[in-house]
Amino acid sequence: MISATFNHPEGTTDTLQIDPGVSLMKAAVLNGIGNIIGECGGQAMCATCHVLVQPEYRDQLPPLGEDEDEMLDCAATERTEGSRLGCQLKAGEHFSAIEVDLPEAQ
C-alpha cells in the first residue's frame, strides 16, 4: 500500500493507503475525498482532478504528458509548478509516497 496525503483548501487533511496501480484520482474519488471530481474517469479529457504536488515529491513523477499539459491550462484554479492531473499519477508506478494540496476549485 502506498501512502497519499491530501491537504484540503479548508485546512483539513486526509490520508489514504492506495493499492499499487491505482491512480491518485481514482483512489480519492472512490474514498469520498472532497475537492477532487475526476469527471472524465481518467482519460485526460477534463481538468477536475487537479492536484498541487508538494515539492519534495515531484522528482519521482514522470514528465507531464502533452494531453495533461493541455488540460491543466483549462483547470478552474490557475496551475502552478507543482500542478498535475491526479488521474495520470499511479501509485507504485509513479510515486512511492505523495503529498498534494487540493485547489480551491476544480
Partner 1 sequence: MDATAAVRTGCPFTDKRSAVERAENAPTEMCSPVSETIGAGEMPVANWINVAELREDPYPTYARLRNESPVAWVPAIKKVLIASFAGCLFAEQHPEIFSNNVSGAHMTRAFGGQPMIRQDGADHSAERNVINQTLRPKKIKEVWEARFIANTQTYLDALEDGGPGADLNDVFAAPLAAKNLIDLLGLSCVAPADVARWSADFMAGAGNVLDDQDIWLRCQRSREELGSALDEAFARLRKNPDDSIISLLIHSGMPEESVRANVTLTISGGVSEPQHIMTSSVSLLTQHPEFLSWAQEEPTRFEQVFQETLRLQSPIAMITRETTTDTEVDGFRIPGGSQIGLLLASANRDVLAIENPDEFDPTHEARRHLGFGSGDHLCAGKWAAEAAVGRIAVPALYERFPTLRTDPAHPGTWNGWVFRGFSSLPVVW
Binding footprint of partner 1 on the chain (CB under 8 A):
18-19, 22, 27, 29-32, 34, 36-46, 48, 67, 70-71, 73-74, 76, 105
Identity of the residue, 40 or 64, whose beta carbon is nearer to partner 1 in the bound complex:
40
Identity of the residue, 59 or 66, whose beta carbon is nearer to partner 1 in the bound complex:
66
- Contact present, 5 and 98 (Cβ < 8 Å): yes
Bridge partners of 14, per DSSP, are 6
Identity of the residue, 44 or 52, whose beta carbon is nearer to partner 1 in the bound complex:
44
- Contact present, 33 and 6 (Cβ < 8 Å): yes
d(CA 13, CA 8): 6
